[in-house]
């Protein structure tokens, strides 16, 4: 062992002890007759001292050669510091060094290894191994480990068995694009990397393994939007002989356990709201409920006056922004410009200030009197001092626009506090969504999701109205997990594939093994999957998943550190029976 | 919830309780006026009773329709059984059923769902979801989960951090063949699936994460020998600021923890033997030391007589087979035939019976007298009653042959007891091995393995003689883990690549990022990886890893259940910029 202690554990109680430490040179201060070195490892920083008086001359001279990030081993005695540093755990002591070994020299790193670094994203990714030396990144990785361990502990204690499902599976064109792997031994054939272990976990339920989980990498070859990764990690779970209520309780328990163990927070029972309610109240199926500004629908109170814009709109809907009646005309104009940006797309915005004196002042005063505006305040829940903002237009579009505005204001007003956690369930999702482009239904969740029994009668007459036994867990405006009760009946599953536009052959070819399995005694089952990357980021009080992944890829799907993907030998291609186009 | 209890937990203390159970029909016995059903779930079997007298007629009639593997839910009252079954936990009670719901019917399964099944390997793999319902397979999966959890607990408690390394990495032609993944976004380029996270874990050490582990899938596109899988799971570990001794102690501790927690066994400190000793004593670098039959080298005592076969041999080596002096001529001839099979390849075998009366009788009596043979007995450690078997020829080849014989006899004589565990370390492996075909050195472990400092001076003069700081953990005749202290010096690493026949460009192209990283302060580090599949199998008292993998592939790399790999759409190929040859 190169060390007797780490750089994070020594304090005044160790004074006069002889110790050996090893680590990286964080920085040196050379006063000529005295040299201080901050020695860093994963656990902290300990100050070393070399002193013309007390240090052997060769050791002292060697200390003068030390540069940033040199790897060294020192032996020495712990002494009390003259000027203590109360900011670090080891701040009361320093090591008077008697032996110094340079284990490895270091070139000057391309950015500073400090909590606040001068390195930009690109350079930090290229030298990710240096970036990981920085506390924020290192702590994120340790935090992630901690979360994963707590997930495993909780689920194991609840009787779940972690089962590893295969990575080399079969390509299914439904859903996102697969990454594929040419088979050398099976000419002309390809494996696919799993987008999720969905069918395998369902087969495990058929196999009687009634509580399954797995923390597992999944893969999607999609054009990467900001903060998406081609490979990502799921906490994948499934249970048999359960109803939706059982699953909600179990995984609410898991999330509550995590909040308690990794954040020290006790959270009450999670609210449950329907998809319809979420859309109407927040314009969003993953609402951030840490703050209010719930939607108030104003059709009844704002239409049939002389304001044509509202009268012709499918939906007139507003929010009350707390304490913002004092906004200047300029501030309000800026907000109006904000909603009119193409990313949001509103054509305009009406406002109404609910002054602290109880009067109401709107941008459409010529159409609405105080009595009318009072009703707006009632519907949006505005109090004196609040600012009411109103959008109108086609219902879905307008809700989405108002939701964007609500989130933006939540951010601006500091209502989205990173260390506050407000989880909830959104339930009763639609089973299907209509795709204008392909002119057919797509599964909103996935093709294995069970319709609500009471809605099944709509399957031929009005499939779009069928609600699913599907649910999402939402935390602070992010979907962190989602799942459903599955279909366990071969007939209903076949019907579902038909509804989704699969021919019988396609269904058989792609999912025959699952439908086959259903013939041999499939139990009722359901489950969900959490996105671990995002869950960890949110629990860590951040929203960028990249900061919680050791070696992430960039938006082109490249690992810039190892420079992958890369070309391969023609010989390799030949063996795989493929060639470049 | 479809049940109030599982099928494994009810006993006499629950009599008169009303319960709801759900599970699969294991079997039914219909006596006409009374029907018994064994209801099975993951946790056990509970007997149900339907009785013409006490059961409602519609329930009774429905019970008559139940077939094997139907999924049912029953409500009923726990009553005492008339004839108790002491073999199962629930054997004192049965459920008098009042309500019966058929949740799903089942076709007759293609093999019996019993501990001893009538299904062959192929059919069981095709219907693996049914195979998993069987106790032996189910218990293996639960056992595997248990082992993995204990690994994580132990390593976490020791301060290790599990870090997920990427699956989409870069192809390196060195080593085994890679599985590759064509990149859609980077035309003409490919990712590779990792054969191990070797370079990433070394980069984590450079990054200061001084104790890393990961339970991780790895991939090798090799022609599958029996019981190899294209995707397999490793417990991958690395530590910084350590010497070999620290690593041996840490992972000996892990293995001892596992043996204690999952097998209830306390194991003393592991023996450590050198590679040379292992080869000379067992003919094998992964010796099974649960039994003796150590090699005795007989050159000194058996050469220079008139027996030309021995005289001309590089090595004459024997083992003493305990208690087998009584073997008949026929038994011995069978053994001789066994070693002469092409799989073993010996040209003949000499034997010597050490009779219980102290006399020695050999197949080469005309060349050796009692005094000579006595020396054979001394060298091989034979006692009266033992049978000495001797092979001769080129040293390495002969050792391998005798090792095969030793293992065969260990099996035949019942000396390889599945529930006995004899772990050991084999250390001081050669750094390099000469490959006759390519006429160059290959890394025995991998190109990152550090030579022993005291052997480095041989690097130009006699590289084949350099020993490495490399070690294997061996358990019951299987290598379950292996690793090394790594090179952390850029210069030495470059020298190593040169020795292995890499051009500077190849080394730079493939491992430039690692050598680059070494310039920025790489700490001394080392680690190892365990093969989880095999470790679990051996701890489970078995040697077939396939039985411990939920969804294994066959020897052609196929998943016969989902029928993968398979063909993919031309559209998919087009998007990936590749075509079939």
pLDDT at B546 over 80: yes
CA B327 from centroid of its chain's CA atoms: 33
Alpha-carbon distance of A374 to B542, in angstroms, equals 78
Tell me whether residues A521 and B104 touch, CB distance under 8 A: yes
Query: What are the pLDDT digits (tens) for A188-206?
Result: 999 999 999 999 999 999 9
* Mean pLDDT, rounded, of chain B: 95
The predicted pLDDT at position A256 comes to 97
Closest residue in chain A to residue B512, using alpha carbons only: A562
Asked if omega into A565 is within 30° of 0 (cis), the reply is yes
Instruction: Give the residue ranges of DSSP H helices in A36-169.
Output: 57-64, 121-126, 128-131, 135-157
How is residue B241 annotated by DSSP? S
**How close is the nearest chain B Cα to the Cα of A85, in Å?**
24
Which of A3, A219, A566 is facing B171, going by the closest CB pair? Answer: A566
pLDDT at A73 over 90: yes
Tokens of A271: 């609210």
Query: What are the pLDDT digits (tens) for A160-183?
Result: 999 999 999 998 766 789 999 999
Which of B178, B189, B556 is facing A185, going by the closest CB pair? Answer: B556
- Helix, strand or coil, per DSSP, at residue B168: coil
**Mean pLDDT score, A311-332:** 97
Tell me whether residues A521 and B223 touch, CB distance under 8 A: no
Contact list in B for residue A520 (CB cut-off 8 A) is 69, 106-107, 109, 127, 129-130
* Domain ranges (residues) in chain A: 12-104, 138-272+423-549, 291-412
The predicted pLDDT at position A379 comes to 97
The band of A512, judged by pLDDT with boundaries at 50, 70 and 90, is confident
The predicted pLDDT at position B573 comes to 94
Tokens of A137: 């990144």
**How close is the nearest chain B Cα to the Cα of A185, in Å?**
7
The predicted pLDDT at position A543 comes to 80
Tell me whether residues B152 and A152 touch, CB distance under 8 A: yes
- Helix, strand or coil, per DSSP, at residue B299: helix
Q: Are B10 and B90 in contact (CB under 8 A)?
A: yes
The predicted pLDDT at position A74 comes to 98
Nearest residue to B42 (alpha-carbon basis) of B150, B145, B170: B145
**Mean pLDDT score, A472-484:** 96
Best mutation target among B182, B225, B526, B575 (most A Cβ atoms within 10 Å) is B182
pLDDT at B174 over 70: no
Tell me whether residues B170 and A565 touch, CB distance under 8 A: yes
The band of B460, judged by pLDDT with boundaries at 50, 70 and 90, is confident
The predicted pLDDT at position B338 comes to 98
Overall CATH class of domain A291-412: alpha beta
The predicted pLDDT at position A562 comes to 93
Contact list in B for residue A161 (CB cut-off 8 A) is 141-142, 145
Contact list in A for residue B186 (CB cut-off 8 A) is 556-558, 565
**Mean pLDDT score, A383-409:** 97
**Mean pLDDT score, B397-420:** 96
pTM (predicted TM-score): 0.95
Tell me whether residues B577 and A580 touch, CB distance under 8 A: yes
What is the ipTM score, two decimals?
Answer: 0.95
CATH topology of domain B138-272+423-549: BirA Bifunctional Protein; domain 2 (3.30.930)
**How close is the nearest chain B Cα to the Cα of A350, in Å?**
44
Alpha-carbon distance of A110 to A249, in angstroms, equals 49
More confident residue, B443 or B63: B63
Best mutation target among B117, B548, B550 (most A Cβ atoms within 10 Å) is B550
Which residues touch A578 (CB under 8 Å, ≥6 apart)?
A182, B182, B578, B579, B580, B581
Tokens of B213: 């582990």
Query: What are the pLDDT digits (tens) for B222-275?
Result: 987 777 899 999 999 999 999 999 999 999 999 999 999 999 999 988 999 999
Contact list in B for residue A580 (CB cut-off 8 A) is 188, 577-579
Contact list in A for residue B219 (CB cut-off 8 A) is 167-168
The predicted pLDDT at position A174 comes to 65
Query: What are the pLDDT digits (tens) for A84-128?
Result: 999 999 999 999 999 999 999 999 999 999 999 998 989 999 999
**Computed from CA positions of residues B249, B252, B253, B254, in that sequence, does the dihedral angle turn out positive or negative?**
positive
CATH topology of domain A12-104: OB fold (Dihydrolipoamide Acetyltransferase, E2P) (2.40.50)
Asked if omega into B565 is within 30° of 0 (cis), the reply is yes
Tokens of A217: 């990498």
**Mean pLDDT score, B68-79:** 98
Give the CA diameter of chain B. 93
Query: What are the pLDDT digits (tens) for A399-449?
Result: 999 999 999 999 999 999 988 999 999 999 999 998 888 888 888 888 899
Q: Are A521 and A527 in contact (CB under 8 A)?
A: no
Alpha-carbon distance of B221 to B181, in angstroms, equals 13
Tell me whether residues B566 and A189 touch, CB distance under 8 A: yes
* Mean pLDDT, rounded, of chain A: 95
**How close is the nearest chain B Cα to the Cα of A509, in Å?**
9
Nearest residue to B442 (alpha-carbon basis) of B469, B463, B473, B428: B463
The band of A501, judged by pLDDT with boundaries at 50, 70 and 90, is confident
**Mean pLDDT score, A493-511:** 88
Query: What are the pLDDT digits (tens) for A216-241?
Result: 999 999 987 777 899 999 999 999 99
User: Cα separations (Å) of A481 from A527, A532, B526?
Assistant: 10, 9, 38
The predicted pLDDT at position B297 comes to 98
Nearest residue to A204 (alpha-carbon basis) of A179, A239, A156, A244: A239
Q: Are A217 and B233 in contact (CB under 8 A)?
A: no
The band of B436, judged by pLDDT with boundaries at 50, 70 and 90, is confident
Which of B71, B210, B572 is facing A522, going by the closest CB pair? Answer: B71
Q: Are B111 and B128 in contact (CB under 8 A)?
A: no
pLDDT at B416 over 80: yes
């Amino acid at each position: 062992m190169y060390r007797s202690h780490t750089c994070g554990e020594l304090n005044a109680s160790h004074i006069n002890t002889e110790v050996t430490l090893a680590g990286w040179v964080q920085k040196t201060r050379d006063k000529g007759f005295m040299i201080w070195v901050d020695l860093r490892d994963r656990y902290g920083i300990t100050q070393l001292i070399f002193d013309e008086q007390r240090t052997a001359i060769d050791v002292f001279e060697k200390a003068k050669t030390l540069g940033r990030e040199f790897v060294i081993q020192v032996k020495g005695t712990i002494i009390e510091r003259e000027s203590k540093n109360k900011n670090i755990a080891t701040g009361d002591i320093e090591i008077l060094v008697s032996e110094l070994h340079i284990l490895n020299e270091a070139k000057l790193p391309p950015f500073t290894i400090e909590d606040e670094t001068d390195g930009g994203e690109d350079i930090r990714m290229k030298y990710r191994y240096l970036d990981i030396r920085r506390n924020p990144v290192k702590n994120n990785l340790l935090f992630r480990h901690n979360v994963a361990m707590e997930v495993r502990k909780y689920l194991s204690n609840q009787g779940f068995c972690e089962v590893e499902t295969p990575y080399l599976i079969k390509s299914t064109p439904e859903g996102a694009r697969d990454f594929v792997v040419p088979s050398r031994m099976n000419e002309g054939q390809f494996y696919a990397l799993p987008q999720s272990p969905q069918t395998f976990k369902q087969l495990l339920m058929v196999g009687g393994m009634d509580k399954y989980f797995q923390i597992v990498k999944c893969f999607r070859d999609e054009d990467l939007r900001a903060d998406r990764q081609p490979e990502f990690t799921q906490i994948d779970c499934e249970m048999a002989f359960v109803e939706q209520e059982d699953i909600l309780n179990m995984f609410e328990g898991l999330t509550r356990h995590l909040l308690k163990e990794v954040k020290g927070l006790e959270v009450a029972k999670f609210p449950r709201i329907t998809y319809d309610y979420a859309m109407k109240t927040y314009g969003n199926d993953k609402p951030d409920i840490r703050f209010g500004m719930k939607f108030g629908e104003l059709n009844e109170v704002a239409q049939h006056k002389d304001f044509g814009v509202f009268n012709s709109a499918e939906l007139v809907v507003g929010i009350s922004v707390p304490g913002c009646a004092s906004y200047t005309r300029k501030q309000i104009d800026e907000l109006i410009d904000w909603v009119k940006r193409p990313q949001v797309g509103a054509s305009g915005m009406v406002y109404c200030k609910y002054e602290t004196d109880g009067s109401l002042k709107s941008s459409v005063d010529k159409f609405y009197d105080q009595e009318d505006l009072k009703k707006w305040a009632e519907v949006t829940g505005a109090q004196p001092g609040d600012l009411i903002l109103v959008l109108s237009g086609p219902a879905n579009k307008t809700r989405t626009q108002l939701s964007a505005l609500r989130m933006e204001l939540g951010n601006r007003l500091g209502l989205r506090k990173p260390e506050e956690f407000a989880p909830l369930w959104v339930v009763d999702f639609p089973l299907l969504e209509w795709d204008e482009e392909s002119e057919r239904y797509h599964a909103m969740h996935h093709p294995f999701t069970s319709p609500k029994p009471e809605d099944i009668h709509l399957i031929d007459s009005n499939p779009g109205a069928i609600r699913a036994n599907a649910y999402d867990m939402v935390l602070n405006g992010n979907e962190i997990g989602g799942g459903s009760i599955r279909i366990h009946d071969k007939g209903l599953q076949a019907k579902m594939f038909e509804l989704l536009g699969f021919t019988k052959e396609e269904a058989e070819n792609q999912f025959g093994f699952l439908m086959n399995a259903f013939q041999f005694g499939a139990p009722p089952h359901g489950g969900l999957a959490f996105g671990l990357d995002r869950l960890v980021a949110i629990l860590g009080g951040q929203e960028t998943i990249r900061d919680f992944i050791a070696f992430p890829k960039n938006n082109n799907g490249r690992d810039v550190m190892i420079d992958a993907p890369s070309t391969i030998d023609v010989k390799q291609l030949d063996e795989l029976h493929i060639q470049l186009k």
